[in-house]
Structure 1
Amino acid sequence: MKKIIFKIGQFPHLSETFILAQIITAIKCGYNVRLLIGELLDFETSKQVDLIKKYEIEEKIIIEDYRIPKNKIVRLLKWFFILASNFKNIKPIRNFHKENTKFSLTWLFQWVFYHQFNEVDIFHTQYGTNSKPLDILKRTGFKPAVLVTFHGHDAFFPINGFIPNNGYYDNLFVYGNLITANTTYLADKIIELGCPKELLSIVPVGVDTRFFYPNNETRTHKTLKLITVGRLDKVKGHHFCIEAVAQLINKGIDVSLTIIGEGSERGNLENLIEQYKLQGKIFMKGTKSQIEVRKELWEHDLYLLTAVALPDGRRETQGLATIEAQACGLPVIVYDSGGVKYTLEDGVSGFVCNEFDMIEVCNKIMEFIENPSLLMDMGKEAVIFVNENYSQFKIDEKWKIIYNQLCNEK
């Protein structure tokens, strides 16, 4: 069996269901899959426990531990022992040390740790920031194909507020085998960083349309029920949803809003809801499992995503929840921010509004109130759009082709 190692910073991570979906794709394609994890989190806190157990993910985990002794003397003695034991590999070891900015005993421990995987077929790294030290190893003769999937924040410097762009991805863009992005928007950002176009491929994050599908129940409630799903982060722009609902209710329009997710913005959003006295119209329900999210989508009419640019220019690069909502038969209204517009067909499965233009959002919501049949018509088109462009089956086929090509080129 061909071997793939997924290199991931943290696992399992609450907000990254798409990474687990990617791992399952490789398993279904028949690959011998392992996960190289920097930090292992508590499995019981994951909303994907059933899938983790079903695919025996826990048994596939390798912790990225270089086993460096804390005692300086023991560390030095072990360093000399390892160097002597790997003397036949002295050239690649020397080259690896030369590529790092300054001498450190750590580099040898790191090289030896990764050398055990030298016969693996593919390293599939999630997030560009996790591509270290694979980029340098690849430059110095590492055999596995190095595939790196960017997801968003990893293309905006300073990354995480402190990583500067001082040639950070230079080795990756020269010696990596393939870079993938989820939308044209993110691909363009990566190209701006110096990635050759021929090294880059666009593969969206897909949705399991066997799980997310319309329930086809007749709508009986009079209130237009809006919903948005995602971590409570400024980039998601939840406060615009709240402002829109406040304006509509002030005009006597019968609407409600459900917000699903957790994050640093929760306090600010709760204060805004209290300020507008909308406790009985806007409901913050915290984090939900996929089954719970699907149930909520089935009970609502229209999906909102008012994501906006952050001060550093970072924007939402795709948006998975908009696709899940459409798969469940909900039209969507979004801001034209980042790669979000690629997740719907404007005027067919939903509406794309100018970024920050809350009046336009309110006007589009009013179109559904004035023409209730639009909910059903656009909802049907939304299901068709997702099945044709974002179904996990079609995305899996793209990954199967990519993996096979990388194995053949290795």
Structure 2
Amino acid sequence: MTQARAGGHGGHDKRRVLCVTSNYPRWEGDSTTPFVQHLAQDLLALGWEVDVLAPHAPSAASREQLNGISVDRFHYLWPERLETVCYQGGALLNLQKNKLNYLKLPALVFFQWTAIVKRLLSGHYDLLHSHWILPQGFTGVLAARPFNLPHVVTVHGSDAFALKGELLSKFKAFSLMGADAVTVNSSATRQQVLAIAPELTALSLIPMGIALNQPNPDRVAQLRQQFRGDQGPLLIYVGRLVEQKGIGDLLRAVALLSQTLTDCRLLILGEGPWRDALVSLADRLGISQRVSFIGWVEPSDVPNYLAAADIFVGPSKQMPDGSTEAQGLSFIEAMQAGTPVIATDVGGIGDTVKHEETGLLVPQDDPGAIAGSVLRLLSEPQLADKLIFQAKQATKHYTREATAVQFAQLFDAMLHHKSHRS
């Protein structure tokens, strides 16, 4: 099988990439994590034409233009209410929540593969970009090979750290070794990828970036007045409410701190299946009046919440199945907002949060260590100021623009290499 039209950018002005993902905003204002969308938009700004192919979800449009990006959502089950493998926290979480979703995976894989092939037959694309090893990396390898189309697999972490087992590991190794290039978002993810495919050489570390949204001083002042006690401190967590994030340890740390800090309060931003359990835990710990569950917040408002807080705490865990925090964009967002960071030393967090340089690291499952670090930052303002300054400097390497430029350079190199082979 050959392409209907030669790739490269000799026959058209823009270079064209088909982005295949299982996680993409389903509609304007959706709470789905938008980092794949941000990369697509930023590549568009750099001169790439980007089309997105994603699984359909109930109530989502089958095809639309979303923030300048053409999004095509393929159906894989009928009626559409059965399409529950993806979104709402991601495929991995949905598989854990409902084992029946495993029965839907063959349909998802088959219809994703046919949807990719259908689009590649148009000869419209110069490159295929698959987000996550499974299933996108797998279906991408099968689809791209017959077209001799350059194929990049981006590993976001959950796909490498979890989904263990001999058969799944073989599928992952096949997908990684079959790609023309593989990118990872942290040194921890890179280590895990090399454990799966030790002979992999076409491997690049390109962390996902954040938007440099400056906090609004008036909004920050309003939030501090609304949520912070007279004496403080105001702690904050931003992210999904799932077991892996370790929020229960943060609540226990607040209970410890409340014994000496009468105005210690906590903001929790985000949604997830553990919300009710966390609300109950706060009640049992006697700190319900100190904890505010804010829910999902518009991304443009998150920097204001972060800047309003005194300390950001991210107590993530490494779970028994190996899943962990592969990179942690919320840590970088807090650093950029000028809020001191306390984090657990797991996964890829240490790439950005370096102990006593850009934040404080503590062991997982240790509320006492979290509480001790909070007290340390409060009693050592010079340390807090140093961490804030150095963290802000470090975030300059983690912007959306920097990420998009690195991906564009990789894509260009692959197209250049292909044109010399042809």
- Report the TM-score range of the alignment, normalised by the length of the smaller protein: 0.7 to 0.9
Query: Which residue is equivalent to 2:202?
Result: 199
RMSD: 3.1
User: Which runs of 5 or more residues in structure 2 are unaligned?
Assistant: 1-13, 79-105
Aligned pair 1:391/2:399, yes or no?
Answer: yes
Query: Which residue is equivalent to 1:61?
Result: 71
For residues 50-85 of structure 1, give each alpha carbon's deviation from its aligned partner in whole angstroms, at most 9, with x where no partner exists. xx75x322xx122336999xxxxxxxxxxxxxxxxx
- Write the letter of the residue equivalent to 1:7: V
For residues 309-350 of structure 1, give each alpha carbon's deviation from its aligned partner in whole angstroms, at most 9, with x where no partner exists. 112121110100010011010110001011111122321221
Aligned pair 1:367/2:367, yes or no?
Answer: no
Query: Which residue is equivalent to 2:55?
Result: 38
Query: Which residue is equivalent to 1:165?
Result: 168
Query: Which residue is equivalent to 1:86?
Result: none
Q: Secondary structure at the match of 1:9?
A: coil
TM-fit CA distance, 1:116: 1.6
The count of aligned residue pairs is: 361
Query: Which residue is equivalent to 1:332?
Result: 341
Q: How many percent of aligned residue pairs carry the same amino acid?
A: 21
Structural mapping, 1:90-169, within 5 Å: 113-129=118-134, 130-139=136-145, 141-158=146-163, 164-165=167-168, 167-169=170-172
For residues 248-283 of structure 1, give each alpha carbon's deviation from its aligned partner in whole angstroms, at most 9, with x where no partner exists. 112345311111111111111011100012121111
Identify the match of residue 300 of structure 1 among 306, 309, 329. Answer: 309
Query: Which residue is equivalent to 1:23?
Result: 40
Residues 1:212 and 1:125: Cα distance change in structure 2 (over 3 Å): farther
For residues 174-233 of structure 1, give each alpha carbon's deviation from its aligned partner in whole angstroms, at most 9, with x where no partner exists. 321111110010111111111534121111111122x14585989995211110100001
Q: Secondary structure at the match of 1:5?
A: strand
Identify the match of residue 266 of structure 2 among 257, 267, 288. Answer: 257
Aligned pair 1:407/2:415, yes or no?
Answer: yes
Identify the match of residue 272 of structure 1 among 258, 281, 285. Answer: 281
**Contact 2:335 2:341 survives alignment (8 Å):** yes
TM normalised by structure 1 equals 0.80
Residues 1:24 and 1:31: Cα distance change in structure 2 (over 3 Å): same
Q: Secondary structure at the match of 1:355?
A: coil
- Write the letter of the residue equivalent to 2:185: N
Distance 1:179 1:274 in 2: 46
TM-fit CA distance, 1:109: 5.7
**Which protein has the larger Cα radius of gyration, Structure 1 or Structure 2?**
1
Distance 1:379 1:215 in 2: 17
